[in-house]
Structure 1
């Protein structure tokens, strides 16, 4: 059967990575890539990720030369990797995006068990993803119950943006945590996408 998009690569990605993936595609002129995102809010219900990815693979695998899943494990307990292995699809390495943005090797070496991580996306969406769903907008006394085991908020910045950094500092203040800024850029995401074959 002739592929309708011969030589093209479909990226099935978390919506939280859309801005970064599109920036890399534009900067590197990767015109052979198409992006399909799943809702970023699935991270609050990670059991939805694997079946949703499976649905997109089944829907599009006949249309592309290659499919690459731009999710790490992301709370699926290994199920996403198992699915990709069974369906012959590759995915980005790492336990979560905090790890591959930092660089998986560097992140593993740090062993930071008491750090709470935010990326550019999560700084922008802090209230929608954390503060309101946890009820902290109405019940701030719950803060210690949720965050009492953390000591530091680590902001992993993909872009150098003063407004985002100020917002991240405010998130740390609201959570009652120390604050640390790290400029990671795109980390392992950039080489993972660069390694995907381009059309001949």
Structure 2
């Protein structure tokens, strides 16, 4: 996927920054696609600092637009949407300053999908202004951590990347087995 993004950037010329931001918006709206591949492409194509900044801007704009779309779409849902996380449930019942703090806090959790946070916030009573500010604040450390991690992985030799892939696959299999056992299958 990274190669595809890199190709689009190289073909876009002076509009490559806008292409990256639009891709980040699309990723944010879908809510389940990891942005790490786009961040890796941005770092590779634009350099570390510029790539991180472009990813940050794209994620902030994407979060705001997805929040608005989710909130608009929720008006058509007739029944409540349950969440499996006590923190997301708390966010959905919150408003004002409490919702702001929860959005910032949830964005600091590694591996917490921002799409779920956007959806939880859209279900809450937080205003678009508070949500946008909370997203912008919460994404700073998350983006720096993601960017640094991507930079380090990109500098690894093939053996390190294969080891990371195997470790990730092993973690996913263990997680799947635990979930399966909990369901009693």
**Higher relative strand content:** 1
Give the structure-2-normalised TM-score. Answer: 0.32
**Higher relative helix content:** 2
Give the structure-1-normalised TM-score. Answer: 0.30
